[in-house]
Structure 1
Amino acid sequence: MSDLDPQPAAPADIGVPAPPPAAVRSEMSDGEWHRLHPLSPLLRGGLTLLVIIGILIANLRDRLISFFLPEGFRWDEEDPVDFVLQNGIAVQAIVAVVVGLIVLVALFWMAWRFHTFRITGDEVEVRSGVLFRTHRRAPLDRVQGVNLTRPALARLVGLAKLEVVGAGLDANVKLEYLSTANAETVRGDILRLASGHRTKDAAARTAAGGPLTSRVTAGISEIIDGVEDDGTEAESIVRVPMSRLILAGLLSGSTISFVLVVVAVIVGLVLQPVWIVPALGASIPTAIAFGAYAVRRFVRTVRYSIAPSASGVRVTFGLLTTVTETLPPGRIHAVDVRQPLLWRWGGWYRIRINQISGRSASDTSAAQMGDVLPIGTQADVERVLRLLLPSVPIDAALLDAGLHGPAAGDGYTTSPARARVIDPLTWRRNGILVLPQAVLVRTGRLWPKLTILPLARLQSVRISQGPLDRRLGLAGLTGHTVLGPVSGTVASLDHEEAYALWNDITAAAVAAASAESVSPAADEEDAAGVDAAGAAPDTAAPVTAAPVVAPARPEDERP
């Protein structure tokens, strides 16, 4: 039975709308239940099970022989095949192997038999489990994109997996695995169906709104948060030469740390030769771990491309395992541009983001993607920022002030001179700039970093003081977003300026969130409901939340 064979419809399935035939291309998108590829159980974890069983048998063979065979048989650590032949138990051994294989095949068949999916006119559904059944649904009007992943082993047998990205925590639905041709066709079908739902929702909003402003708002929201179609992929706007990728890896912070450890070990051995054996015992595992990390990072970032799509940004990366992920601008909560110390020689930068990925917090196999641009020039950074944050006007002058400032008249609120007491290295570079669409935070001197926090995505804004800050009249500001590698904190600001900025940012965030409250993006954001700590309330009851504006503080009151 192939992955195209439908499952008989249950009585509860009667009346479920099928997708319109004009919107689908695959036989698996007909509204009926279908099974995944027969090799799916093996690729999802069966191969690991076989390896574990082999290890257990290899380590417990003495106990297994003594348990299953009479006491008269001897086991002298000889070859298992010779043992079987010499003791005349070839038939019993063959029967045991055949029974074991039959049991494994039966388990895999049961897992495949009860793992089905269907694509209807309203949602994507997946049912799995034999004893403990699960049923997951991804409503098409909540679909943010469909990621296509081709792991190395799956690519060898022509398979791929799909991940339907939903709005909310642990809202994704996975189809593991389909043939590559079926996966690409089904992906296009889901995207077209989701785009149709967005179009209907936008039309409904326009009809209900009436005024020109409502129609314009709905149109902008559709452009920003619409689901990508399956058209021809645009060409990547960034090219990363292989030589640059290798050289940047050699000049990374992990390489510096490794070199320092090697130098310390050599110096220690020269001064105290008696420590040569312990030193080698500690340095060899460290070298192996570093080599594995460097190779894994290189393999992951090679063949990188980033291009615009109908839903925002499509990022593809990976040499052995190829991943194609879609980043709608409405789901990007924070962006930072940073420059490692040794990358200044080449003028290279890295871009990281915080986004709601729809994955479970325990999903370590598909962790939230952090590096959107692994390495690029300042011109590459400008192009990528225009894709990630189309509503934020980041030009060359603004980017240069954030990465290379401070400069006279750049508009940033910076740390006063008294901040050098507690922040001697970076007090001159500390700065914050509030734009109508975002907050820009500038920090770091040896490792300069520019953080961009879209106001409509801020979860909360915090002002804080430590004992020394209070003594010096300083304060720090932090913009909270969803969990991720980006942190929007600036320290050592004048406490009066920090308080004024806190009020300004809070009011601007409320206004930006209110402006999006009538758009699909805001509805999805409310459904996600992710707070600054990464927790998510029940998505079944979305509640629009916005930062609360604190009352104005008397002039003589200290923070």
Structure 2
Amino acid sequence: MTSLADGDWHRLHPASPLLRGGIFVFALLGFVIANLRERFVDLVFGIPRESGDPLDAIYEGGAVGWALLIVAGVLLVIIVAFSLSWRMHTFRVTDESVEVRSGILFRSHRQARLDRIQGVNIVRPLIPRLFGAAKLEVSVAGQDANVQLAYLGSALADGLRRDILRLASGARQPRAAVPGPIDPGQLLPAPETDPPGVGQPGDLVAPAGNRRHALNDYASARVGEFLAPELDPDAAPPESVVRIPVLRLIGSIVFSGFTVFVLVGIGAIITSVIVGGSEWLLIAIFPGLIASVGYYVSRFTKSLRYSIAGTPDGVRVGFGLLTTSNETLPPGRIHAIGVTQPLAWRPFGWWQISINKAGHSTNDGAAGQAATTVLPVGSLTDVGKVLELILPGFAIDEQRALVIRGLTSRGGNDGFANAPRRAAWLRPFSWRRTGYTVTAGAALLRRGVLSRELVLVPLARLQSVGIDQGPVRRRLRLASARLHTVTGPVSASLGVIDVDEAVRMFEAISAGAVASADSDTSHHWSLVPAVTATVAPAPGSTAAPAAATEVTS
């Protein structure tokens, strides 16, 4: 373990207060610099200033000294507040939990249990990357239970993530400690020996050449972080399992529901101006259309450099160009998988994969979508590769063929128990594709004809299964079924199914869920020699104790 996971309390990066709330300081400095620039131009070129300038009023009233004193006092208060905030914000990682203490007047103590961790996400926003800092977020099961460490040194955040995942896997034997203490606030890990040309600690003043050498090293490190791949070469394969071509990414954004909204807005403008002559509607809608350009640019940049790969501690998903994010999903934290294909994507053969998990990151996922989107857009082959990572049992050819039929088949005798013909009274278009099957420790639900969808639920993660029948379905001898999982974008339900088939489904899935839960050991994946991130099923979290606690005083 690194010295950050030794059970002692540590502080964050010294620039953390500035990075978290220093935008106001930057705005104040920008205002002062802009005014000084104008005054410099006035002084050099003799351009008269307009009356009513507040700085002129202060100067003419002889209150320059008081103004400078007030500015100095405000800056001093800000510096003292930032310093106290940094000193009072500490964290520690033990064998059982991650704890964070913060607050000056009102103290807060948050604790996240390691056995309830649903994912560990490292986000590197653009400005903190200039300081060599990153935000580490531990996602745990529960409402508003996540724990954030904002900010740590970028390299130290990667090391701490490995330590947290190792402890969460059930391993308790520490690795060899890193020689010497590591300060979490340093910009770069301290080298074991001084590099050539750098002054010794006892030197009072470093030579100018050494200072230039250190500055060049710092600049090279920042450039290296900007160009480095999102996947950690020490923890993940060097190549992503799936790559999203730029043209496919652009096409998926253009052929989306938001584009329909934009086209409707453009049509309304044309109609109002040309036909009705209502220019006021143009004024109301046009700014929104301009903002939509920013939406497209944001989705595009957030999807660049997308990567997904298996690691010994789970599936690693990364993305982002300027602000990067990569999250590790430990084995067994995925409760449901939804593979969908909107109608506009069908000619291109594109699909999207979303998941349900007990904890959710507070940061957006790939393409600016929810953090539960693990594949923004991909081909049928890409879908198979991702499912092999998060549900490795489907690497078998027969199961892979079953998934393909669940995605593309129009119904019939294809391995699924489908809804009967009389279900057309309630589902006139999609009754042929409404069906289910159970295989390899997972239940597969298929539905939808305009927007195709296949839902996969690991039986070990299933919370309950229910079937119900209203008066109309009772008349048609139909029922509806639902597999209950944690809340998320994936809904594991069937609107219509034969009533006798619903009973068989209830019994088969109930028995399979009990058997899968009894044999599941992936919550302590490091204790099972054969289990890795690419072969482990996902553990449940519904019967575990509270994920996180917070005490405020």
Q: TM-score, normalised by structure 1?
A: 0.74
Matched position secondary structure for 2:510: helix
**2:250 matched to 1:241?**
no
Equivalent position amino acid for 2:67 in 1? A
1:482-529 per-position Cα deviation (integer Å, ceiling 9, x unaligned): 11111111112122222321232222222222223796479x966654
Matched position secondary structure for 2:433: coil
- Provide the rounded CA distance (Å) in 2 between the counterparts of 1:194 and 1:481: 22
Aligned to 2:531: none
- Provide the rounded CA distance (Å) in 2 between the counterparts of 1:484 and 1:333: 9
Aligned to 2:225: none
Matched position secondary structure for 1:478: strand
**2:111 matched to 1:137?**
yes
**2:14 matched to 1:38?**
yes
- Provide the rounded CA distance (Å) in 2 between the counterparts of 1:192 and 1:163: 16
Aligned to 1:332: 334
Q: TM-score, normalised by structure 2?
A: 0.75
Aligned length: 458
Indicate which of 228, 231, 234 corresponds to 1:231.
234
Q: Is the 8 A contact 1:168 1:529 kept in 2?
A: no
Larger relative CO (CA 8 A, sep 6+): 1 or 2?
A: 2
1:126-525 counterparts in 2 under 5 A? Answer: 126-140=100-114, 143=117, 146-166=120-140, 170-194=144-168, 197=171, 231-234=234-237, 235-273=239-277, 275-277=278-280, 279-357=281-359, 363=362, 369-392=371-394, 395-516=399-520, 520=524
Q: Is the 8 A contact 2:520 2:539 kept in 1?
A: no
Aligned to 1:85: 59
Aligned to 2:185: none
- Provide the rounded CA distance (Å) in 2 between the counterparts of 1:469 and 1:335: 28
Cα distance 1:330–1:192, how it changes in 2: closer, same or farther (>3 A)?
closer
Q: Which blocks of at least 5 consecutive residues in structure 1 are unaligned?
A: 1-22, 56-75, 201-227, 531-536, 542-559
Aligned to 1:47: 23
1:270, distance to aligned residue in structure 2 (A): 3.8
1:441-494 per-position Cα deviation (integer Å, ceiling 9, x unaligned): 111112111111111111122223344323322221111111111111111212
- Provide the rounded CA distance (Å) in 1 between the counterparts of 2:308 and 2:145: 25
**2:92 matched to 1:118?**
yes
Matched position secondary structure for 1:485: coil
- Provide the rounded CA distance (Å) in 1 between the counterparts of 2:464 and 2:440: 17
Q: Is the 8 A contact 1:332 1:355 kept in 2?
A: yes
Q: Is the 8 A contact 1:338 1:350 kept in 2?
A: yes
Matched position secondary structure for 2:349: coil
Cα distance 1:492–1:191, how it changes in 2: closer, same or farther (>3 A)?
closer
Q: Is the 8 A contact 1:165 1:172 kept in 2?
A: yes
Q: Is the 8 A contact 1:253 1:340 kept in 2?
A: no
Equivalent position amino acid for 1:43 in 2? L
Q: Is the 8 A contact 1:127 1:136 kept in 2?
A: yes
* Identity fraction in percent: 46
1:368, distance to aligned residue in structure 2 (A): 6.2
1:134-186 per-position Cα deviation (integer Å, ceiling 9, x unaligned): 22334556556532210122112221111234455555432211122332333
Q: Is the 8 A contact 1:42 1:108 kept in 2?
A: yes
1:380, distance to aligned residue in structure 2 (A): 0.7
1:27-71 per-position Cα deviation (integer Å, ceiling 9, x unaligned): 54454332211211122234258759999xxxxxxxxxxxxxxxx
Cα distance 1:263–1:485, how it changes in 2: closer, same or farther (>3 A)?
same
Q: Which blocks of at least 5 consecutive residues in structure 2 are unaligned?
A: 32-49, 175-230, 526-535
Q: Is the 8 A contact 2:355 2:372 kept in 1?
A: yes
Cα distance 1:256–1:174, how it changes in 2: closer, same or farther (>3 A)?
same
- Provide the rounded CA distance (Å) in 2 between the counterparts of 1:497 and 1:271: 57
- Provide the rounded CA distance (Å) in 1 between the counterparts of 2:475 and 2:288: 44
Cα distance 1:519–1:182, how it changes in 2: closer, same or farther (>3 A)?
closer
1:387, distance to aligned residue in structure 2 (A): 0.3
- Provide the rounded CA distance (Å) in 2 between the counterparts of 1:232 and 1:519: 19
**Superposition CA RMSD, Å:** 3.3
- Provide the rounded CA distance (Å) in 1 between the counterparts of 2:242 and 2:167: 30
Matched position secondary structure for 2:392: coil
Q: Is the 8 A contact 2:360 2:372 kept in 1?
A: no
Q: Is the 8 A contact 1:116 1:127 kept in 2?
A: yes
Equivalent position amino acid for 1:301 in 2? S
Matched position secondary structure for 1:155: helix
Matched position secondary structure for 1:330: coil
Matched position secondary structure for 2:138: strand
- Provide the rounded CA distance (Å) in 2 between the counterparts of 1:115 and 1:160: 16
Equivalent position amino acid for 1:324 in 2? N
Q: Is the 8 A contact 2:169 2:523 kept in 1?
A: no
- Provide the rounded CA distance (Å) in 1 between the counterparts of 2:447 and 2:29: 52
Cα distance 1:507–1:103, how it changes in 2: closer, same or farther (>3 A)?
same
- Provide the rounded CA distance (Å) in 2 between the counterparts of 1:299 and 1:455: 37
Cα distance 1:340–1:518, how it changes in 2: closer, same or farther (>3 A)?
closer
Matched position secondary structure for 2:431: coil
Q: Is the 8 A contact 1:313 1:328 kept in 2?
A: yes
Matched position secondary structure for 1:329: coil
- Provide the rounded CA distance (Å) in 2 between the counterparts of 1:364 and 1:540: 19
1:357, distance to aligned residue in structure 2 (A): 2.4
Q: Is the 8 A contact 1:28 1:118 kept in 2?
A: yes
Matched position secondary structure for 1:146: strand
- Provide the rounded CA distance (Å) in 1 between the counterparts of 2:165 and 2:331: 17
Matched position secondary structure for 2:402: helix
